[in-house]
Structure 1
């Protein structure tokens, strides 16, 4: 042991082992090891960490997906583990910001992995479907793109929960923190990237606190597990959603304190409104409208619909609170938030605003998709709701 200690330059066994691996590993193995290692780590947490059992909405074929609400715990453990690993690496002169330096390799690997993964999902849906909520169109290209299953599971692991939540929406905040570390290494403390990152981290933390509600959104109840959603979660989210922070690494701006405070306050208010709106809908559904929203009993529309099996069901359409302002007012709060974490760039360069433009198009398009689905599902009940709440996202504008 003493000889090993001296051979490692007097460093501890852990430190020497880290440095030996770091210097002796094949150069091209780092990115695959990091990505696949994280995926394995996320899967272990997803399976082992406890959580309350809850049910998603019933499907058109009468199936009810079942989940384990351990998303917030997985998120906290993951972020804490990242901090601990960063401290350990820094103690031995290493840094996780090598991922920033080699991010092009990360995206290349994720692209290659996702293409193969989506092919696996296509074949699984054709030959080994998890439920009756799926099927094929007869066009293999379309089925590969759109997916063949709505809720695929492999050895009990829900694929969409893993790709959407345990990978995409967890890697996003990890990258935001990593870009802050890189910025600090290059420039010291810069408040524009700090403010942008705080807003993104609060938003993602809020998401995992509310993750059970996400299982009622279009991403889960309408989009199948194919290239469209899985490639987006495995490649687009890591590369694009954190792109503002990546841009700010090389474009530091020291904001005036009052400007920084106003941007941060506006962004935090947007997060609160977004969460408040989701909470209002959740409480109204859980209590069947027997609650108070803005100090009074909410107005609801009891919309009945029929499953493909012929069974009749009922949903509540909330016509109070933020849902009285616009049918998708929560989208406006998300857009305002995205603008707040982008505007610290203080530039006319289009690059950092690309995500905001993309999100605007995405949410407007999603609002139309959602309303088409609701119109088909609820019929005259939806028309009644649209009469009560005439604005789609922004009152008097959209």
Structure 2
């Protein structure tokens, strides 16, 4: 479709179709391998010396097995659908997203507090009912790799549904076509593989559920929390001891997860929501990559536990606190500035009528919040200390993700602000890390 509202995509990311295919195949395989390498029945102690691809891949069944494994599909679909029902029926406040290209704004229900409370209450109820055994957590722990593959297949199906549905026009009450769907500027190339990967429709919805925002904040994020908890639960059942490293990673990541869920309104202005379509890239990232790779530290510590001790725990908590302070303070400063609360801070008045903040945190680097977020990721990896490079995958991956986002944002801002952006870059030359990059 080509129109003033939905111009044809002419610039491709990730290497175009070839890159989209490579990522769609390569990242799921990498995710499975990472989980296989630290599964309880096959743990690589000497990562660099003992790695064997054939041995690591051993135990992965044919695709037909996963397509027909009723119990895995039942559990995952219940998880995805029940959280969606919670999202619909639990109370929350109404908010509008950013203005879309047609001048409209979408409505969102912000009820992360209610959804989180409901999940905690269900867990507490099951804990009491099972005398602390929690068989659901043990099932999750024992079937983590299989569930990881199920989420990959589900992501393929969900993104295929969204791609097909993007061609179905919006219909009015009288059966007349009233509105053109808003497509992502980057996902309307006409190439089905690339558009399926990037996401063709900007905000696909099923009834009141915005699939993109829901998938970003609910099933993946909260499953990450449960996987971590299952690792702590399993270790306690096996050893009858509380491991400080496992407790620490559960607390640090649990705090981050629920901070994101409880402050979900911040997502409404993120690039994922405002710019990107909802295709396989985001579906896989939200539903598979987040829960099944961000939990690698807890998974590792459940099969190779270490005791950190007071000094190392204190150091890691300090690193996490530093990262969170930078991340939260930078974001809060930008939010306050946009609301006109910090008029004294230096800024550049653009020809578009908006201002570019170049003072405070935002005078140190163009994406100071990214730097804080990366420090947080490093603190999580430090919970495994120096035992393995495997768990440091997350920090390396996250840095590459932030670099890519920074480059995308820079390209967008250059086109949007022109010479004003050039002036901004002179005042704030560092991209993410002050005095380094």
TM-score with structure 2 setting the length: 0.77
Name the residue aligned to 1:340: 379
Deviation at 1:337, TM superposition (A): 1.1
Name the residue aligned to 2:274: 221
What CA distance in whole angstroms lies between the structure 1 residues aligned with 2:132 and 2:256? 30
Q: Given the alignment, which residue of 243, 256, 259 partners 1:190?
A: 243
Name the residue aligned to 1:230: 283
Name the residue aligned to 1:299: 346
Deviation at 1:180, TM superposition (A): 1.5
Name the residue aligned to 1:57: 98
What CA distance in whole angstroms lies between the structure 2 residues aligned with 1:49 and 1:100? 29
Name the residue aligned to 2:430: 391
Name the residue aligned to 2:126: 85
Deviation at 1:95, TM superposition (A): 5.0
- Whether the aligned pair in 2 keeps the contact of 1:190 and 1:252 (CA below 8 Å) is yes
Go from structure 1 to structure 2 and tell me whether the alpha carbon gap of 1:315 and 1:193 turns closer, same or farther (over 3 Å shift).
Answer: farther
Deviation at 1:92, TM superposition (A): 6.9
What CA distance in whole angstroms lies between the structure 2 residues aligned with 1:267 and 1:354? 17
Counterpart secondary structure, 1:127: coil
Deviation at 1:88, TM superposition (A): 2.4
Q: Given the alignment, which residue of 186, 200, 203 partners 1:151?
A: 203
- Whether the aligned pair in 2 keeps the contact of 1:251 and 1:345 (CA below 8 Å) is no
What CA distance in whole angstroms lies between the structure 1 residues aligned with 2:133 and 2:380? 33
- Whether the aligned pair in 1 keeps the contact of 2:137 and 2:226 (CA below 8 Å) is no
Q: Given the alignment, which residue of 219, 222, 226 partners 1:167?
A: 219
Counterpart secondary structure, 2:226: helix
| RMSD of Structure 2 on Structure 1 (CA) | 2.1
Name the residue aligned to 1:317: 356
Go from structure 1 to structure 2 and tell me whether the alpha carbon gap of 1:143 and 1:272 turns closer, same or farther (over 3 Å shift).
Answer: same
Q: Given the alignment, which residue of 9, 16, 30 partners 2:71?
A: 30
TM-score with structure 1 setting the length: 0.84
Counterpart secondary structure, 1:150: coil
Name the residue aligned to 1:133: 183
Deviation at 1:122, TM superposition (A): 0.4
Asked if residue 201 in structure 1 is aligned to residue 254 in structure 2, the reply is yes
**For structure 2, which runs of at least 5 residues remain unmatched after alignment?**
1-67, 171-179
Go from structure 1 to structure 2 and tell me whether the alpha carbon gap of 1:92 and 1:169 turns closer, same or farther (over 3 Å shift).
Answer: closer
Deviation at 1:252, TM superposition (A): 0.8
Name the residue aligned to 1:311: none
Asked if residue 281 in structure 1 is aligned to residue 320 in structure 2, the reply is no
What CA distance in whole angstroms lies between the structure 2 residues aligned with 1:146 and 1:30? 31
What CA distance in whole angstroms lies between the structure 2 residues aligned with 1:67 and 1:238? 24
Deviation at 1:91, TM superposition (A): 5.4
1:38-57 correspondence runs (5 A): 38-57=79-98
Deviation at 1:153, TM superposition (A): 1.1
Asked if residue 116 in structure 1 is aligned to residue 166 in structure 2, the reply is no
What CA distance in whole angstroms lies between the structure 2 residues aligned with 1:205 and 1:253? 26
Name the residue aligned to 1:331: 370
- Whether the aligned pair in 1 keeps the contact of 2:166 and 2:181 (CA below 8 Å) is no
Deviation at 1:321, TM superposition (A): 2.1
- Whether the aligned pair in 2 keeps the contact of 1:89 and 1:96 (CA below 8 Å) is no
What CA distance in whole angstroms lies between the structure 2 residues aligned with 1:215 and 1:63? 14
- Whether the aligned pair in 1 keeps the contact of 2:297 and 2:383 (CA below 8 Å) is no
- Whether the aligned pair in 2 keeps the contact of 1:153 and 1:159 (CA below 8 Å) is yes
Deviation at 1:61, TM superposition (A): 4.2
Deviation at 1:55, TM superposition (A): 2.1
Asked if residue 178 in structure 1 is aligned to residue 230 in structure 2, the reply is yes
- Whether the aligned pair in 1 keeps the contact of 2:126 and 2:134 (CA below 8 Å) is no
What CA distance in whole angstroms lies between the structure 2 residues aligned with 1:31 and 1:90? 25
**For structure 1, which runs of at least 5 residues remain unmatched after alignment?**
1-26, 306-313
- Whether the aligned pair in 2 keeps the contact of 1:192 and 1:252 (CA below 8 Å) is yes
Go from structure 1 to structure 2 and tell me whether the alpha carbon gap of 1:226 and 1:95 turns closer, same or farther (over 3 Å shift).
Answer: closer
Name the residue aligned to 1:263: 316
Aligned pairs, number: 358
